[in-house]
Amino acid sequence: DQFVVDSAGTGGWHVGNPADRRMQAAANRRGIQLPSRARQISLDDFSAFDLILTMDDANLAAVTSLAREAGSQATAKIRPMLSYARQFNETEVPDPYYGGDAGFEHVLDLLDDACAHLLEELSSAA
């Protein structure tokens, strides 16, 4: 209840679709529900949010470019999600689409680690 969290992609090809069924299944096994539908990041996001996290280097480049397009209204900080990870050395969240069930589990492991440390940092700053 202390944070507003949203998710958006840099491309529009999945807009309106639910999360991949394999990701939903892996998340459900961890007690995580993924009810949202995909949306594309908008220029307004750069002023509506304090922090925008990216999953990989291509997302980081695309989001940084959009922030430049948003100009002075772009007040959000942009950081790679895995910059908060402590248990893993990876710098990019891999796309699990072609990697089978283990790929989805690994993505969730990476995100669990990064989210835990992100929450610690945000909570200590509040």
In this predicted model, what pLDDT tens digit does every residue of 30-62 receive, in sequence order? 999 999 999 999 999 999 999 999 999 999 999
Q: Rounded distance, CA 77 to CA 66, Å?
A: 13
The chain-wide mean pLDDT, for the chain, equals 94
9, two tokens: 């992609």
What integer is the mean pLDDT of 114-121?
96
pTM over 0.95: no
Q: How confident is the model at residue 13 (pLDDT cuts 50, 70, 90)?
A: confident
Within 13 Å and on the Cβ side, how many CA atoms surround 18? Answer: 9
